[in-house]
Amino acid sequence: MDFRITPEQEKLRQEVREFVQKDIAPIIAEYDAKDEFPLQIAEKAFKKGFMNVRIPKKYGGHGLGLLDEVIITEELAYGGVGIATSINVNSLGFEPILIAGTEEQKEKYLRPLTEKLSFIAFACSETVVGSDVAGIQCKAWKEGDEYVINGTKYWITNAILADLFVVFAKTGEKRKELSAFIVPADTPGVKVGPPMKKMGLRESPTSALALKQVRIPEENLLGKEGDGFQIAMDTFNSSRPAIGAFGIGLARHALDLAINYAKKRIAFTVPLANFQLIQEMIADMVIGIEAAKGLTYKAAWLIDNGTPNITLSSCAKIYSSEVAMKAALDCLQIWGGRGYLRTNPVEKLVRDAKVLEIYEGTTQIQKIIISGAALGGYYKSN
C-alpha cells in the first residue's frame, strides 16, 4: 500500500497553491463583499489547466483522474469555496455527458469546454424538490423529432454564466421517470434569474432557471428516455469526493488562520497558543483534516481505479463537510471578537462551510445512503 500522491500530482498541487496565493487570496474578500463572480480568476484557472481536468484527451481535455481533480479542488477551496465551486461545477455539468453521452454528444459538447472558458450548469433542483430528486416536477415530452421542456429549476450554480445546461425533467407519470437533456442557454424559452442573495458562497452565482416551452432536438436526450434518475445518482457518486475536497481546503485555511492568531495574540501575559483548551481546538482541526483526506482521497482513488465505493464517497462528503464547519467555528472562537468582524477573513469561512452540509446531498441524505448500504448488506469496506 502506498499513500503517497505521485510527483506529477505534487507538482500540480504546488502550482495550484501558488495560483491561489497570487491570484485568489488578494481579491477574494472584495468579491465576497460585492456578491460578485471574479471572472478573471476563472479565466486564469482555465488557462493554467485547472478546469475541466477530467475531460478525456480525445475530446481535447487533460484526461486527468478524479484524484487529480480533488487535489486541485482542495487547493482552490483554500482560496475560497465559492470560486472553487464555480470552477468545479463544470465537472458536475459534464459528468452526465461522460456517463451517458454518445460519441457525437461528447465531441459536440465536451470539446468546446476545452477550447475556451465556458460553463456548463447542472439543473436538477427545483423550488419544490431538492433532496427528493425522484419527485422532479419539470416536464418534458416528445413532439415529432423534438422534446419540449416546461418547468422551473432553482439553485443553479453558474446559471448566469452557462452556455449549456444539463436539465433533468419528468418524462413519465411515476416518480423517478426522469430524463436528462442537453439544453443550450440560447434556446428560445430559456431564462435565467438574477443571482440569489446568499449567506455564503457569495462569489459563486446561483440562480433560478425558467424553461418555458423550450424545444430541443431529440438528439439532445442523454441515454434513453427514463435514464435520468440513474444518470443523476451516478453523477453525484463521482462528484461527492470533490465536495470532500472543498471541506479539506476550507479546514486547512481555518487551521492556518487559527495557528497564526493563537501564536501572536497575548492573553493573561502569554500567547493564546499556550493554553491547552486552544491547543485542543487546533488538534481537533488536524485530526479532522487528516481523517477527511484519508476518506476523500481513497474515495477518489477507488473511482479512478474502477472500483467505486458509493458509501465511501458519501462518508467523504459528510465527514469533510462536518470537519470544515467545526474548523471554521473553532477558528472564529480562537479569534474571539475579531473573528466576528466582516473585515477579517474568518467569518467568511463559517458562512461558506455551511453550504457543504447542504448541496449535492445534505448531511441527512448522506446518512440515509450510508445506513441504507449497511442495513441492506451491500456495504463493503474495500
Ligand X SMILES: Cc1cc2nc3c(=O)[nH]c(=O)nc-3n(C[C@H](O)[C@H](O)[C@H](O)COP(=O)(O)OP(=O)(O)OC[C@H]3O[C@@H](n4cnc5c(N)ncnc54)[C@H](O)[C@@H]3O)c2cc1C
Which residues carry out catalysis? 360
Helix axes 7-19, 66-79, angle to 10 degrees: 20
Residue with cell 484519508: 294
CB of 135 to ligand X, least distance (A): 9
Q: In the bound complex, what is the minimum distance in angstroms from residue 366's beta carbon to ligand X? A: 9
Q: What is the x/- site pattern for ligand X, positions 32-71, by CB under 6 A?
A: ----------------------------------------
Phi, psi torsion values for 26, nearest 5 degrees: -70, -20
CA distances from 64 to 49, 109, 301 (A): 11, 18, 12
Identify whether the C-beta of residue 185 lies closer than 8 Å to the C-beta of residue 163: yes
Site string for ligand X, 201-230 (x = CB under 6 A): x----x------------------------
Please report, for residues 2, 95, 150, 332, the alpha-carbon distance to residue 215 in angstroms, rounded to integers and kept in the order given. Answer: 51, 23, 9, 50
Residues from 231 through 250 that contact ligand X (CB under 6 A): none
CA-wise closest residue to 322 among 289, 280, 368, 277 = 289
Sites for ligand X among residues 94-133 (CB under 6 A):
121-125, 130-132
> With CB under 6 A, what is the number of residues at the site for ligand X?
22
Stated length of the chain: 382
CA distance 59 to 107: 6
Give the residue nearest to ligand X (CB): 130
Cβ-based nearer residue to ligand X, 40 or 364: 364
Comparison of 155 and 261: residue with beta carbon closer to ligand X: 155
Q: Are 354 and 198 in contact (CB under 8 A)?
A: no
Binding mask 339-358 for ligand X (x = CB under 6 A): ----------------x--x
Figure out which of the listed residues 362, 372, 373, 379 binds ligand X, where binding follows CB under 6 A: 362
Least distance to ligand X, CB of residue 92, Å? 7
Stretch that binds ligand X, among 16-24, 101-109, 318-326, 359-367 (CB under 6 A): 359-367
Residue closer to ligand X by CB (options 133, 255) is 133
* Binding characters for ligand X, 152-181, by CB under 6 A (x = yes): ---xxx------------------------
CA torsion, ordered 5, 9, 13, 19, to nearest 10 deg: 180
Long-range contacts from 105-111, C-beta under 8 angstroms, 24+ separation = 105/182, 105/219, 105/220, 105/222, 106/59, 107/59, 109/164, 109/182, 110/55, 110/56, 110/59, 110/60, 110/61, 111/59, 111/60
CB of 174 to ligand X, least distance (A): 19
- Positions touching ligand X (CB under 6 A) are 89, 121-125, 130-132, 155-157, 198, 201, 206, 355, 358-360, 362, 364-365
